[in-house]
Amino acid sequence: MVPSPDVLDRLSRALGLDDSTAREVRDLLVAVEAATDSGPISGEEAPAGAVLDEAVRSARLVRSFQCVVLPAMLQSAEYARHVFESAPNSTPEAVGRAVAARVERQSVLYEPGRKSVFVLTEAVLRTWPGTPALMLAQLDRLLAVESLSTVRLGVVPWRRPVPLLPPHGFTLCDQRAVVIEAFAGERVSVDPAELAACEEAFGRFERAAVFGGEVRELLLRVMKEFRELGDIVTP
Protein backbone atom coordinates (compact mmCIF):
# COMPACT_ATOMS: atom_id res chain seq x y z
CA MET A 1 0.00 0.00 0.00
CA VAL A 2 1.32 3.44 -0.96
CA PRO A 3 0.94 6.15 1.72
CA SER A 4 -1.28 9.14 0.97
CA PRO A 5 0.48 12.45 0.25
CA ASP A 6 -0.38 13.74 3.74
CA VAL A 7 0.97 10.63 5.44
CA LEU A 8 4.08 10.72 3.28
CA ASP A 9 4.72 14.37 4.19
CA ARG A 10 4.38 13.60 7.90
CA LEU A 11 6.75 10.64 7.58
CA SER A 12 9.28 12.77 5.72
CA ARG A 13 9.20 15.42 8.45
CA ALA A 14 9.45 12.80 11.20
CA LEU A 15 12.48 11.23 9.50
CA GLY A 16 14.10 14.62 8.99
CA LEU A 17 14.34 14.25 5.20
CA ASP A 18 15.46 17.33 3.32
CA ASP A 19 13.23 18.76 0.58
CA SER A 20 15.18 17.13 -2.25
CA THR A 21 15.04 13.65 -0.72
CA ALA A 22 11.37 14.00 0.22
CA ARG A 23 10.57 15.02 -3.35
CA GLU A 24 12.45 12.00 -4.73
CA VAL A 25 10.44 9.72 -2.43
CA ARG A 26 7.17 11.28 -3.62
CA ASP A 27 8.20 10.91 -7.27
CA LEU A 28 9.10 7.25 -6.81
CA LEU A 29 5.86 6.41 -5.02
CA VAL A 30 3.81 8.16 -7.68
CA ALA A 31 5.57 6.05 -10.32
CA VAL A 32 4.71 2.78 -8.56
CA GLU A 33 1.33 3.66 -7.03
CA ALA A 34 -0.67 1.75 -9.60
CA ALA A 35 1.39 -1.38 -9.02
CA THR A 36 1.21 -1.33 -5.24
CA ASP A 37 -2.47 -0.37 -5.00
CA SER A 38 -3.87 -2.43 -7.85
CA GLY A 39 -1.50 -5.38 -7.94
CA PRO A 40 0.83 -6.42 -10.76
CA ILE A 41 0.59 -4.55 -14.04
CA SER A 42 -0.01 -6.74 -17.04
CA GLY A 43 -1.60 -7.01 -20.44
CA GLU A 44 -2.83 -3.75 -21.94
CA GLU A 45 -2.62 -1.72 -18.70
CA ALA A 46 1.10 -1.01 -19.18
CA PRO A 47 4.09 -2.60 -20.85
CA ALA A 48 5.51 -5.56 -18.98
CA GLY A 49 8.46 -4.48 -16.88
CA ALA A 50 7.32 -0.85 -16.75
CA VAL A 51 7.19 -0.74 -12.95
CA LEU A 52 10.78 -1.94 -12.58
CA ASP A 53 12.11 0.24 -15.38
CA GLU A 54 10.45 3.40 -14.05
CA ALA A 55 11.65 2.72 -10.50
CA VAL A 56 15.20 2.29 -11.80
CA ARG A 57 14.96 5.47 -13.86
CA SER A 58 14.04 7.52 -10.78
CA ALA A 59 16.98 6.24 -8.70
CA ARG A 60 20.54 7.53 -8.54
CA LEU A 61 21.90 4.30 -7.05
CA VAL A 62 20.60 0.98 -8.37
CA ARG A 63 21.71 -2.36 -6.94
CA SER A 64 20.32 -5.49 -8.54
CA PHE A 65 20.83 -9.11 -7.54
CA GLN A 66 19.58 -11.82 -9.89
CA CYS A 67 19.83 -15.61 -9.67
CA VAL A 68 18.05 -16.77 -12.87
CA VAL A 69 17.30 -13.93 -15.32
CA LEU A 70 19.60 -11.07 -16.28
CA PRO A 71 18.82 -7.67 -14.75
CA ALA A 72 16.46 -5.63 -16.91
CA MET A 73 19.02 -2.89 -17.51
CA LEU A 74 21.54 -5.37 -18.95
CA GLN A 75 19.26 -7.28 -21.30
CA SER A 76 19.77 -7.15 -25.05
CA ALA A 77 16.66 -6.58 -27.15
CA GLU A 78 16.43 -10.24 -28.17
CA TYR A 79 16.96 -11.50 -24.63
CA ALA A 80 14.30 -9.07 -23.37
CA ARG A 81 11.92 -10.34 -26.05
CA HIS A 82 12.15 -13.85 -24.61
CA VAL A 83 11.60 -12.47 -21.10
CA PHE A 84 8.41 -10.67 -22.12
CA GLU A 85 7.16 -13.58 -24.22
CA SER A 86 7.35 -15.71 -21.06
CA ALA A 87 4.90 -13.41 -19.27
CA PRO A 88 1.30 -14.63 -18.89
CA ASN A 89 -1.10 -13.50 -21.63
CA SER A 90 1.63 -11.83 -23.68
CA THR A 91 0.83 -10.72 -27.23
CA PRO A 92 3.25 -9.87 -30.06
CA GLU A 93 2.16 -6.24 -29.96
CA ALA A 94 2.63 -5.91 -26.20
CA VAL A 95 5.98 -7.69 -26.36
CA GLY A 96 7.21 -5.36 -29.09
CA ARG A 97 6.23 -2.27 -27.10
CA ALA A 98 7.80 -3.64 -23.92
CA VAL A 99 11.10 -4.47 -25.63
CA ALA A 100 11.33 -1.02 -27.21
CA ALA A 101 10.57 0.68 -23.89
CA ARG A 102 13.11 -1.42 -21.99
CA VAL A 103 15.92 -0.73 -24.45
CA GLU A 104 15.13 3.00 -24.38
CA ARG A 105 15.20 3.09 -20.58
CA GLN A 106 18.64 1.47 -20.50
CA SER A 107 20.11 4.85 -21.43
CA VAL A 108 20.25 5.61 -17.69
CA LEU A 109 23.32 3.37 -17.50
CA TYR A 110 25.32 6.03 -19.31
CA GLU A 111 24.14 9.09 -17.37
CA PRO A 112 26.75 10.83 -15.20
CA GLY A 113 25.86 10.96 -11.53
CA ARG A 114 24.21 7.55 -11.52
CA LYS A 115 25.69 4.32 -10.17
CA SER A 116 24.50 0.82 -11.02
CA VAL A 117 25.77 -2.30 -9.28
CA PHE A 118 24.73 -5.70 -10.63
CA VAL A 119 25.47 -9.00 -8.90
CA LEU A 120 24.54 -12.26 -10.62
CA THR A 121 25.02 -15.90 -9.91
CA GLU A 122 26.85 -17.78 -12.66
CA ALA A 123 23.59 -19.66 -13.24
CA VAL A 124 22.19 -16.49 -14.82
CA LEU A 125 24.84 -16.67 -17.54
CA ARG A 126 24.01 -20.31 -18.23
CA THR A 127 20.21 -20.10 -18.17
CA TRP A 128 19.67 -19.25 -21.79
CA PRO A 129 16.72 -18.71 -24.12
CA GLY A 130 16.77 -18.90 -27.90
CA THR A 131 20.10 -19.88 -29.41
CA PRO A 132 23.79 -19.82 -28.50
CA ALA A 133 24.17 -16.90 -30.92
CA LEU A 134 21.68 -14.88 -28.87
CA MET A 135 23.66 -15.55 -25.71
CA LEU A 136 26.95 -14.69 -27.38
CA ALA A 137 25.53 -11.29 -28.29
CA GLN A 138 24.14 -10.89 -24.78
CA LEU A 139 27.44 -11.79 -23.12
CA ASP A 140 29.26 -9.41 -25.43
CA ARG A 141 26.91 -6.68 -24.20
CA LEU A 142 27.81 -7.55 -20.60
CA LEU A 143 31.49 -7.13 -21.43
CA ALA A 144 30.79 -3.70 -22.91
CA VAL A 145 28.63 -2.55 -20.00
CA GLU A 146 31.14 -3.83 -17.44
CA SER A 147 33.67 -1.33 -18.76
CA LEU A 148 31.45 1.69 -18.02
CA SER A 149 32.56 3.93 -15.16
CA THR A 150 28.94 4.13 -13.97
CA VAL A 151 28.52 0.35 -13.72
CA ARG A 152 29.91 -2.33 -11.41
CA LEU A 153 29.22 -5.90 -12.52
CA GLY A 154 29.93 -8.94 -10.39
CA VAL A 155 29.25 -12.66 -10.69
CA VAL A 156 29.19 -15.30 -7.98
CA PRO A 157 31.07 -18.22 -9.63
CA TRP A 158 29.50 -21.65 -9.40
CA ARG A 159 32.71 -22.93 -7.77
CA ARG A 160 31.91 -20.79 -4.72
CA PRO A 161 29.09 -21.61 -2.32
CA VAL A 162 26.39 -18.96 -2.18
CA PRO A 163 26.15 -17.12 1.15
CA LEU A 164 22.43 -17.92 1.30
CA LEU A 165 19.88 -19.61 -0.97
CA PRO A 166 17.99 -16.87 -2.83
CA PRO A 167 14.26 -17.43 -3.41
CA HIS A 168 14.17 -14.63 -6.00
CA GLY A 169 16.06 -11.68 -7.39
CA PHE A 170 15.46 -8.06 -6.47
CA THR A 171 16.45 -4.52 -7.36
CA LEU A 172 17.17 -1.85 -4.75
CA CYS A 173 16.42 1.71 -5.87
CA ASP A 174 18.53 4.05 -3.75
CA GLN A 175 17.69 3.14 -0.16
CA ARG A 176 14.02 3.89 -0.65
CA ALA A 177 12.39 0.97 -2.42
CA VAL A 178 12.95 -2.57 -3.62
CA VAL A 179 11.39 -4.14 -6.72
CA ILE A 180 10.79 -7.89 -6.69
CA GLU A 181 9.99 -9.65 -9.96
CA ALA A 182 7.78 -12.74 -10.25
CA PHE A 183 5.87 -14.59 -12.96
CA ALA A 184 2.67 -12.72 -12.11
CA GLY A 185 4.29 -9.28 -12.28
CA GLU A 186 6.38 -6.90 -10.22
CA ARG A 187 5.98 -5.90 -6.60
CA VAL A 188 7.39 -2.70 -5.15
CA SER A 189 8.04 -2.45 -1.43
CA VAL A 190 9.01 0.51 0.73
CA ASP A 191 8.68 -1.52 3.93
CA PRO A 192 11.73 -0.81 6.12
CA ALA A 193 12.07 -4.42 7.27
CA GLU A 194 12.00 -5.78 3.72
CA LEU A 195 14.42 -3.11 2.54
CA ALA A 196 16.82 -3.98 5.36
CA ALA A 197 16.63 -7.70 4.55
CA CYS A 198 17.37 -7.06 0.86
CA GLU A 199 20.20 -4.65 1.74
CA GLU A 200 21.82 -7.32 3.90
CA ALA A 201 21.34 -10.04 1.28
CA PHE A 202 22.79 -7.86 -1.46
CA GLY A 203 25.86 -7.13 0.62
CA ARG A 204 26.48 -10.82 1.23
CA PHE A 205 26.19 -11.72 -2.45
CA GLU A 206 28.34 -8.74 -3.44
CA ARG A 207 31.11 -9.92 -1.12
CA ALA A 208 30.94 -13.41 -2.66
CA ALA A 209 31.17 -12.14 -6.25
CA VAL A 210 34.16 -11.55 -8.50
CA PHE A 211 34.60 -8.23 -10.29
CA GLY A 212 36.91 -6.53 -12.78
CA GLY A 213 39.39 -8.77 -14.56
CA GLU A 214 38.05 -11.90 -12.89
CA VAL A 215 34.50 -11.32 -14.08
CA ARG A 216 35.73 -10.57 -17.61
CA GLU A 217 37.65 -13.85 -17.64
CA LEU A 218 34.53 -15.66 -16.48
CA LEU A 219 32.39 -14.04 -19.19
CA LEU A 220 34.92 -14.93 -21.89
CA ARG A 221 35.03 -18.53 -20.67
CA VAL A 222 31.24 -18.83 -20.83
CA MET A 223 31.25 -17.27 -24.31
CA LYS A 224 33.74 -19.91 -25.45
CA GLU A 225 31.39 -22.63 -24.24
CA PHE A 226 28.45 -21.10 -26.10
CA ARG A 227 30.51 -21.00 -29.30
CA GLU A 228 31.15 -24.71 -28.86
CA LEU A 229 27.41 -25.35 -28.63
CA GLY A 230 27.11 -24.25 -32.24
CA ASP A 231 23.62 -23.73 -33.57
CA ILE A 232 21.74 -25.81 -31.02
CA VAL A 233 18.28 -24.41 -30.36
CA THR A 234 16.31 -25.03 -27.18
CA PRO A 235 13.12 -27.10 -27.57
**In the chain, which residue ranges form alpha helices assigned H by DSSP?**
5-15, 19-38, 50-57, 77-85, 92-105, 122-126, 132-146, 192-208, 213-229
36 located within any domain: no
Question: Residue 24 carries which DSSP code?
Answer: H
Using one digit for the tens of pLDDT, what is the confidence trace for 132-174? 999 999 999 999 999 999 999 999 999 999 999 999 999 999 9
25 located within any domain: no
Decide if 200 contacts 117 (C-beta within 8 A). no
pTM, entire model: 0.77
Q: Evaluate if residue 35 carries a pLDDT over 60.
A: no
Angle between helix axes 50-57 and 19-38 (nearest 10 degrees) is 180
191 located within any domain: yes
For the segment 22-41, the average pLDDT, to the nearest whole number, is 44
Which is more confident, 223 or 37?
223
Using one digit for the tens of pLDDT, what is the confidence trace for 162-218? 999 999 999 999 989 999 877 667 889 999 999 999 999 999 999 999 999 999 999
* pLDDT confidence of residue 51: 72
149: number of Cβ within 10 Å? 8
* pLDDT confidence of residue 42: 39
Using one digit for the tens of pLDDT, what is the confidence trace for 41-78? 333 444 556 677 778 888 999 999 999 999 999 999 99
| Confidence class for position 1, pLDDT limits 50, 70, 90 | very low
Which is more confident, 146 or 25?
146
Q: How many domains does the chain have?
A: 1
Distances (CA, A) of 63 to 13, 173, 206, 223: 27, 7, 10, 25
Using one digit for the tens of pLDDT, what is the confidence trace for 95-136? 999 999 999 989 999 999 999 999 999 999 999 998 999 999
The conformational region for residue 81 under phi > 0 = left, psi -120 to 50 = alpha, else beta, is alpha
Give the whole-angstrom CA distance, residue 9 versus residue 11. 5
Q: What is the CATH number of the domain that holds 188?
A: 3.30.870
61 located within any domain: yes
Range of the domain at 67: 41-227
82 located within any domain: yes
182 located within any domain: yes
* Cβ neighbours for 179, distance < 8 A, ≥ 6 positions apart: 51, 52, 55, 56, 170, 171, 173, 186, 187, 188
Which is more confident, 10 or 142?
142
Distance of alpha carbon 14 from the chain centroid: 31
* pLDDT confidence of residue 23: 53
2 located within any domain: no
Q: Return the percentage of the chain with pLDDT > 90, whole number.
A: 62
Decide if 174 contacts 24 (C-beta within 8 A). yes
Give the whole-angstrom CA distance, residue 39 versus residue 47. 14
112 located within any domain: yes
Give the whole-angstrom CA distance, residue 199 versus residue 176. 11
